[in-house]
């Protein structure tokens, strides 16, 4: 990601109805309305409500309103939609808006790991590094099972 084209106005689209399998590296922002199954590296990634991204994701900024799964590394992430099982999200900053309606979920999390910002245990009493039951296993892979695509109402 040495050469970013964020300001050029150019954008790479994976349109609805398109399924892309493989590795994608782009210096432009990428918007996924279809399905991207594989690894992606881009300065900015947008996953719309119809979009799905499964794999290793590396981007400075991610905005996901669709389905996200795999190993996700970003500086800044905005999440709604669905995060599938066996997903690991590492970010400097994460935002998830809480739904105003009590019966509605803004985001549905499967079994996943969130590592956001500096380690909170660093400033714990005595400086003990604590991760008790939280395993920071980065080797988890995306659950490619399509069964859990149903969004909670």
Partner 1 sequence: MPDLSRSEIEQKVKRGEDFERMDLSGIDLSGAELSNARFSRVLLDGAILEGADLSGADLTGASLREAFLESAKLDRAKLCKADMDGAKLAHATLRETDLSRANLEGADFDSADLTDARLKYAQLDSANLNGARLQNAVLANADLVEADLSNANAQKANFSRALMRAANLSRANCTEADFDSSILQKTRLSNANFTRAVLSEADLTEAQLDGTDFSSADLTRVVIDNARFEATKLNGARLFGVKLEPIALDGLEFEWVDLSPSADREQRVAKNELKRAKTPLAEAQPSRDRYFGPGDVLRNAELEVNNGARVQIDSRFEGCTIRLGPEATLVVGEQGVLDSCTINGGKLIIKGRFLEQQSPGLIGPEELFISSKGAVVATVTQSPQSTRFGFERGCRLRVQITQPKSDNL
Residues found near partner 1 in the complex (CB under 8 A):
9, 11, 76, 93-100, 102, 105-121, 123-125, 130-136, 152
> Whole-number minimum distance, CB 56 to partner 1, in Å?
20
CB-count exposure of residue 147 (10 Å: 0-12, 13-18, 19+): exposed
Q: Which is nearer to partner 1, 3 or 137 (CB)?
A: 137
Q: Which is nearer to partner 1, 3 or 135 (CB)?
A: 135
> Whole-number minimum distance, CB 68 to partner 1, in Å?
13
> Whole-number minimum distance, CB 69 to partner 1, in Å?
13
> Whole-number minimum distance, CB 4 to partner 1, in Å?
16
Distance, CA of 70 to CA of 8 (rounded, Å) = 29
> Whole-number minimum distance, CB 119 to partner 1, in Å?
6
Q: Which is nearer to partner 1, 25 or 93 (CB)?
A: 93
3-state secondary structure of 99: coil
Q: Which is nearer to partner 1, 9 or 17 (CB)?
A: 9
Q: Which two tokens stand for residue 14?
A: 């994976």
Bridge partners, 119 (sequence order)? none
Distance, CA of 25 to CA of 3 (rounded, Å) = 11
Distance, CA of 16 to CA of 71 (rounded, Å) = 23
CB-count exposure of residue 88 (10 Å: 0-12, 13-18, 19+): buried
Q: Which is nearer to partner 1, 1 or 121 (CB)?
A: 121
Q: Which two tokens stand for residue 77?
A: 């992430």
């Amino acid at each position: 990601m040495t050469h970013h084209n964020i300001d050029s106005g150019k954008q790479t689209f994976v349109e609805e109805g398109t399924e892309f399998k493989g590795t994608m590296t782009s210096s432009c922002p990428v918007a996924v309305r279809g399905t991207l199954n594989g690894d992606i590296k881009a300065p900015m990634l947008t996953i719309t409500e119809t979009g799905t991204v499964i794999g290793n994701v590396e981007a400075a900024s991610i905005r996901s309103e669709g389905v996200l799964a795999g190993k996700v590394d970003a500086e800044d992430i905005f999440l709604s939609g669905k995060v599938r099982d066996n997903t690991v999200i590492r970010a400097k900053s994460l935002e998830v808006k809480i739904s105003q309606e009590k019966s509605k979920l803004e985001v549905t999390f499967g079994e996943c790991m969130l590592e956001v910002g500096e380690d909170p245990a660093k400033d714990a009493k005595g400086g003990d590094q604590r991760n008790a039951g939280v395993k920071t296993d980065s080797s988890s892979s995306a659950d490619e099972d399509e069964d859990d695509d149903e969004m909670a109402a």
